[in-house]
Amino acid sequence: MILAGGAGSRFWPLSTPERPKQLLPLATQDPLLVDAVRRLTPLVPPERILVITGEALADTVRGAVPELPPNNVIGEPRAAGTGPAIAWAAAEIERRDADDPTMLCVHADWAIGQPAAFRDTLGRAAATAERHAALVTVGIVPTRPDPGFGYIQLGEHVNGAHRVARFVEKPDRATAERMVADGYLWNSGIFVWRTAIFLAEVDAHAREIAPALRSAALGDIAAFFTAVTPVSVDHGVLERSHNVLVVPGDFAWDDVGTWAALRRVRARDAAGNATTGDVHPVQTRDCVVYAEEQTVVLYGVADLVVVARDGITVVTTVERAADLKSMLDALPQRVRDRR
Amino acid sequence: MILAGGAGSRFWPLSTPERPKQLLPLATQDPLLVDAVRRLTPLVPPERILVITGEALADTVRGAVPELPPNNVIGEPRAAGTGPAIAWAAAEIERRDADDPTMLCVHADWAIGQPAAFRDTLGRAAATAERHAALVTVGIVPTRPDPGFGYIQLGEHVNGAHRVARFVEKPDRATAERMVADGYLWNSGIFVWRTAIFLAEVDAHAREIAPALRSAALGDIAAFFTAVTPVSVDHGVLERSHNVLVVPGDFAWDDVGTWAALRRVRARDAAGNATTGDVHPVQTRDCVVYAEEQTVVLYGVADLVVVARDGITVVTTVERAADLKSMLDALPQRVRDRR
């Protein structure tokens, strides 16, 4: 299953509720969701890929990935975090495949540098999940002490995997540096498990989800999402379970969290500029520029983020682009609502 | 007369041959040319203001300053510098007013800080020109050692004016500093003289202009501009004449030569930003932003120039904006030609 919910304002003014991050061509010339499906299909045929997204986006998503059967795109009537979305998908997978299926969860809005290594890791994670009847999370070998991610401390070694000793929420920078030095992995949000094992853990631990899942009539998604309490799968299930293994993944993984991430995930020119669209950097270095139906010319600047779309241009620095909230707060509503 | 010729690429991508600098609202919300006419009308009624511009622009100019009689806007069949334009205007003024007229020359593309002081200086310059039967140029008291202007060295004192000891072309910075310290004035291009005196000096000194002016049938502008040799009035007449006085003008005068000039001539917000259009600077200082049919948001930046119009955005620094030539040279023709 591919989680494709969430709007996010971090790519304003490009991301809007109608066109959230996963539908933007941030890592390649194609939307992140299209990249995500393409990355999986050598491993999982399209007819066995489910996409969970907001109800209002379901038709847009179907249009973006026409290789998936239309009823493989599921619209959530209400955003309730990753816990209910994954639980619903697990139940749906069981309805469609009664033969002890194993499910794999990824997000639609990632950039992955080495898709073959990614698929190889998923294969090992699936084998581990099936063999040990465990919840398996993929922990990414960190490339920097990023305080923007959760971390996983490794416990006892189990056949090429580890028990999870501890999940750590987004740390401060000093803690992140110490954890990277101590061999902690990034908590990527890539999960693999047999649906039966996962649903049993939900039943045992996730009081926010389990009652709704039991009482909702088979396949009544509206009833389920009405009854459920929003919770992340990490908090609602994984942190409470005693049956979680972590498989290390050593490939470039980026959650493309901000405009600044485009300097990591996109191809850059000789001067370090990551550009999308009709962009002309002259004597300019290390800029991120996204132009849509616009020409952008830069001259003699560095480390800027410039986003131009029809009718609106934003100019900021790579550093400031990491948090646009105070910018958005300062703008009049009519500008913030431009889309 | 108002000189309103010239295209100039220094305000690219906003200035184009169809909409040169003098038709852009750079200093106020109105085009520079409209400001220029408005600044003069307390001194000179509209029916006695001539505008000389390129033939292709004449109708646009008539539309921009409808208070002028249409035949007061004269289209040059060919750009030939200020010498022929002013000589033609002088002859035209004599054709319209046989009674020893005095003419005043200004440019359409200036910003003037204190219009009352400007008019007062013009009045004194006209009185000087009439009394001494001289060519009079207004020398601006410099506010900085700008190497972008020509300078005038003052000679002997003559009734509140001075003889011109020497005209100095655009100097290097060190020379400019020395000249400002030594009391040189900026050569503004504001001229006042009796047309008879000026035309006599043209006849005596300006071999590029005089024969064409003599031989062109009365009022045959096409014949005149075909026959004439391009030359500036400074080089063709003033530097060769022995009858030039300079009257000091102590008002803010700016030739609005580059985007950077907008920091000097426009009202700035508390953070020093000079903005035009729907511009939202957040935690941003000392930027120049011009937005046309576009919204521009700046966040956490300083000393940038951002120009956004329909379909094209340019981002550079205040320093680089002083010379866009190497930027334009680096752009593909199709981008440079965007308008």
State how far residue A261 is from chain B, nearest Cα, in angstroms. Answer: 18
Please name the helix (run of DSSP H) or strand (run of DSSP E) that holds residue B292, with its range, or none. Answer: strand B288-299
Q: Tell whether B305 and B214 lie within a shared domain.
A: no
Q: Which position has the token pair 């396949």? A: A219
Strand partners, A306: A289, A315
Residue A7 has pLDDT above 70, yes or no: no
| Closest listed residue to residue B309, CA positions, set B327, B289, B288 | B289
Q: Tell whether B194 and B317 lie within a shared domain.
A: no
Q: Tell whether B209 and B239 lie within a shared domain.
A: yes
A312: closest chain B residue by CA: B295
Size of interface A-B (CB pairs under 8 A): 121
Do B152 and B124 meet the contact criterion of CB atoms below 8 Å apart? no
State how far residue A321 is from chain B, nearest Cα, in angstroms. Answer: 9
CATH of the domain at A182: 3.90.550.10
Q: Over pLDDT 70: what percentage of chain A?
A: 99
Residue B95, phi then psi, degrees to nearest 5: -65, -35
Which residues of A fall within a CB distance of 8 Å from B12? none
Q: How confident is the model at residue A224 (pLDDT cuts 50, 70, 90)?
A: very high
A332: closest chain B residue by CA: B280
Angle formed by the axes of helices A195-205 and A82-96, nearest 10°:
140
Among A280, A297, A314, the residue with its CB nearest the CB of B297 is: A314
Q: How confident is the model at residue B339 (pLDDT cuts 50, 70, 90)?
A: low
Please name the helix (run of DSSP H) or strand (run of DSSP E) that holds residue B12, with its range, or none. Answer: none
Cβ neighbours of residue A61 under 8 Å, at least 6 residues apart? A4, A23, A33, A51, A53, A73
Q: Tell whether A170 and A267 lie within a shared domain.
A: no
Strand partners, B2: B51, B106
Q: Angle at the Cα of B238 (from B234 to B243), degrees rounded to 5?
A: 165
Which residues of A fall within a CB distance of 8 Å from B338? 295
ipTM of the complex: 0.85
Residue A82 has pLDDT above 90, yes or no: yes
State the number of CA atoms in the 13 A half-sphere of B132 facing the CB. Answer: 25
B311–A295: do the CB atoms touch at under 8 Å?
yes
Q: Tell whether B272 and B136 lie within a shared domain.
A: no
Q: How high is the pLDDT of residue B310?
A: 81
Q: Tell whether A164 and A279 lie within a shared domain.
A: no
Angle formed by the axes of helices B82-96 and B195-205, nearest 10°:
140
State how far residue A142 is from chain B, nearest Cα, in angstroms. Answer: 29
Residue A95, phi then psi, degrees to nearest 5: -65, -35
Residues in chain B: 339
A311–B294: do the CB atoms touch at under 8 Å?
yes
A271 interfacial to chain B (CB closer than 8 Å): no
Rounded CA separation B204/B87 (Å): 13
Do B306 and B290 meet the contact criterion of CB atoms below 8 Å apart? yes
H helices of chain B, in order, are 32-40, 58-64, 82-96, 115-132, 173-181, 195-205, 210-215, 221-227, 233, 262-265, 325-330, 333-336
Rounded CA separation A324/A194 (Å): 39
B330: closest chain A residue by CA: A282
Q: How high is the pLDDT of residue B7?
A: 67
Rounded CA separation B142/B251 (Å): 9
Q: Tell whether A101 and A24 lie within a shared domain.
A: yes
Strand partners, B306: B289, B315
A319: closest chain B residue by CA: B300
B332: closest chain A residue by CA: A280
Do B176 and B146 meet the contact criterion of CB atoms below 8 Å apart? yes
Q: How high is the pLDDT of residue B2?
A: 98
Q: What is the Cα A71 distance to its own chain's centre?
A: 22
Domain boundaries, position A283: 259-336
A331–B294: do the CB atoms touch at under 8 Å?
no
Which residues of B fall within a CB distance of 8 Å from A324? 299
Do A284 and A268 meet the contact criterion of CB atoms below 8 Å apart? no
Strand partners, A162: A157, A246
Q: How high is the pLDDT of residue A15?
A: 85
Q: Tell whether A267 and A250 lie within a shared domain.
A: no
Query: What's the pLDDT tens digit per position in B320-334?
Result: 998 888 999 999 999
Rounded CA separation A99/B284 (Å): 60
Which residues of A fall within a CB distance of 8 Å from B314? 296-299
Residue A9 has pLDDT above 80, yes or no: no
A315 interfacial to chain B (CB closer than 8 Å): yes
Domain termination residue (choose one: A193, A227, A254): A254
Q: What is the Cα A25 distance to its own chain's centre?
A: 15
Determine the average pLDDT of the residues in B45-70. Answer: 96
Do B223 and B217 meet the contact criterion of CB atoms below 8 Å apart? yes
Q: How high is the pLDDT of residue B336?
A: 87
Q: Tell whether B234 and B291 lie within a shared domain.
A: no
Q: Tell whether A245 and A269 lie within a shared domain.
A: no
DSSP labels, A164-196: EEEEE-S--HHHHHHHHHTT-EEEEEEEEEEHH
Q: Which residue has the higher pLDDT, B217 or B119?
A: B119
A300–B313: do the CB atoms touch at under 8 Å?
no
Report chain B's mean pLDDT, rounded to a whole number: 94
Rounded CA separation A277/B21 (Å): 29
Which residues of B fall within a CB distance of 8 Å from A317? 299-301
State how far residue A323 is from chain B, nearest Cα, in angstroms. Answer: 11
Cβ neighbours of residue B329 under 8 Å, at least 6 residues apart? none
B316–A299: do the CB atoms touch at under 8 Å?
yes
Q: Which residue has the higher pLDDT, B42 or B15?
A: B42
A331: closest chain B residue by CA: B280
State how far residue B131 is from chain A, nearest Cα, in angstroms. Answer: 52
Q: Based on the structure, what is the number of domains in chain A?
A: 2
- Three-state SS for A163? strand
Rounded CA separation A226/A78 (Å): 8
Which residues of B fall within a CB distance of 8 Å from A304? 301, 315
A337: closest chain B residue by CA: B295
Q: Which residue has the higher pLDDT, B157 or A10?
A: B157
Residue A5 has pLDDT above 90, yes or no: no
Rounded CA separation A117/B221 (Å): 77
Residue to test with chain B: of A10, A12, A297, most B Cβ within 10 A: A297
Cβ neighbours of residue A66 under 8 Å, at least 6 residues apart? none
B313–A326: do the CB atoms touch at under 8 Å?
no
Report chain A's mean pLDDT, rounded to a whole number: 94
Rounded CA separation B58/B71 (Å): 10
Q: What is the Cα A147 distance to its own chain's centre?
A: 17
A280–B338: do the CB atoms touch at under 8 Å?
no
Domain termination residue (choose one: B210, B227, B254): B254
Residue B31, phi then psi, degrees to nearest 5: -60, 150
Residue to test with chain A: of B299, B306, B326, B334, most A Cβ within 10 A: B299
Which residue type does B324 have? L
Residue B16, phi then psi, degrees to nearest 5: -140, 165
Cβ neighbours of residue A194 under 8 Å, at least 6 residues apart? A100, A101, A102, A103, A129, A130, A133
Which residues of A fall within a CB distance of 8 Å from B290? none
Q: How high is the pLDDT of residue B49?
A: 98
Query: What's the pLDDT tens digit per position in B116-142?
Result: 999 999 999 999 999 999 999 999 999
Q: Tell whether B112 and B218 lie within a shared domain.
A: yes
The CB density around residue A182, as the number of other CB atoms within 10 Å, is 10
Q: How confident is the model at residue A30 (pLDDT cuts 50, 70, 90)?
A: very high
Rounded CA separation B173/B180 (Å): 10
B333 interfacial to chain A (CB closer than 8 Å): no
Domain termination residue (choose one: B254, B275, B306): B254
The CB density around residue A124, as the number of other CB atoms within 10 Å, is 19
Q: Which position has the token pair 């986006």? A: A57
Q: How high is the pLDDT of residue A114?
A: 92
Determine the average pLDDT of the residues in A95-110. Answer: 93
Query: What's the pLDDT tens digit per position in A175-190?
Result: 999 999 999 999 999 9
Q: Tell whether B47 and B84 lie within a shared domain.
A: yes
Tokens of residue A282, six digits: 């002259």
- CA dihedral (B87, B88, B93, B98) in degrees, to 10, reads 80
Query: What's the pLDDT tens digit per position in B158-202?
Result: 988 999 999 999 999 999 999 999 999 999 999 999 999 999 999
Q: How high is the pLDDT of residue B8?
A: 65
Tokens of residue A221, six digits: 């998604």
A313–B319: do the CB atoms touch at under 8 Å?
no
Tokens of residue A191, six digits: 């999960």
Query: What's the pLDDT tens digit per position in B247-289?
Result: 999 999 998 888 888 999 999 999 999 999 999 999 999 999 9
Q: Which position has the token pair 């955003």? A: A79
Distances in Å between the alpha carbon of A281 and those of A64, A284, A297, A306, B339? Answer: 31, 5, 6, 11, 19
